[in-house]
A = this chain, B = another copy of it.
C-alpha cells in the first residue's frame, strides 16, 4: 500500500486537455472496476460471510487468513510429531464372533494384542509345502523388492503374489513353496522379513 499525504494546494489548477481528462476518467474507472471485481472474488473465498461491505470483506479476509495459517501450522506440527513415532496411529480393535455371529469384545481375552503392534504387520502360515506370507507395510517400492529378495534368499519359491495399495500402505500377500534348501521355523521367517524391512 502506498500511503500518500495529500496536498491541499488548489491555487493553480493544472491545465489539462480535453482528451487527457477523458483518459484520466476512463483509467480511474477501470481501476475502480478492477478493485471491485477483486473484492467480489475475495468475498467468495470467505465462508460464512454475512456483511458484504468492503470493510467487512477485508476484516473477515484478515480473520480467515489468520485462521487458515493457524490451521496449517497445527497440521505441520502434527505431521512432525507423527514422523517421529512412525505409525502409532494405527488403531485396531479386535472382535470375536461365536457360532451365532454375536459380537463380543475380546480385547481383555487377548487372542492377539493388536493395539501395540506397529508396521510392518506380518503373518506367516504354512500348509504342507505351501507358505502364505501376508505383510502390511509402508507404501514404498523398495519394501516390495526387499521382501521378495529375502523370501527367495530363505529358500522359498514364490508362485503367486498380490500387492494392493491401501491408503498409505501396501497390503502384500505372497504364496511360496518350500524348496529343498528351506529349513526354517515360521517365527524365523517372520523375524528375517521383519529385520530386512527395518
Contacts and interface: CB of A to CB of B under 8 A. Distances in A.
B62 A88 contact: no
A61 B65 contact: yes
A35 B58 contact: yes
Contacts of A3: 36, 40
Given A42-B58, A53-B1, A58-B39, A166 B127 contact: yes
A58 B43 CA distance: 10
A92 B65 CA distance: 37
Contacts of A162: 162, 164, 173
A5 interface: no
Interface string A72-89: 100100110111111111
B91 A1 contact: no
B88 A112 contact: yes
Contact of A175 (B79, B166, B187, B194): B166
Contacts of A64: 65
Interface stretch (A7-15, A18-26, A97-105, A146-154): A97-105
Interface of A: 1-3, 31, 34-36, 38-43, 45-46, 52-55, 57-59, 61-62, 64-66, 68-69, 71-72, 75, 78-79, 81-99, 101, 103, 106, 111-112, 114, 125-128, 130, 132, 134, 160, 162, 164-169, 171, 173, 175, 185-187, 190-191, 194-195, 198
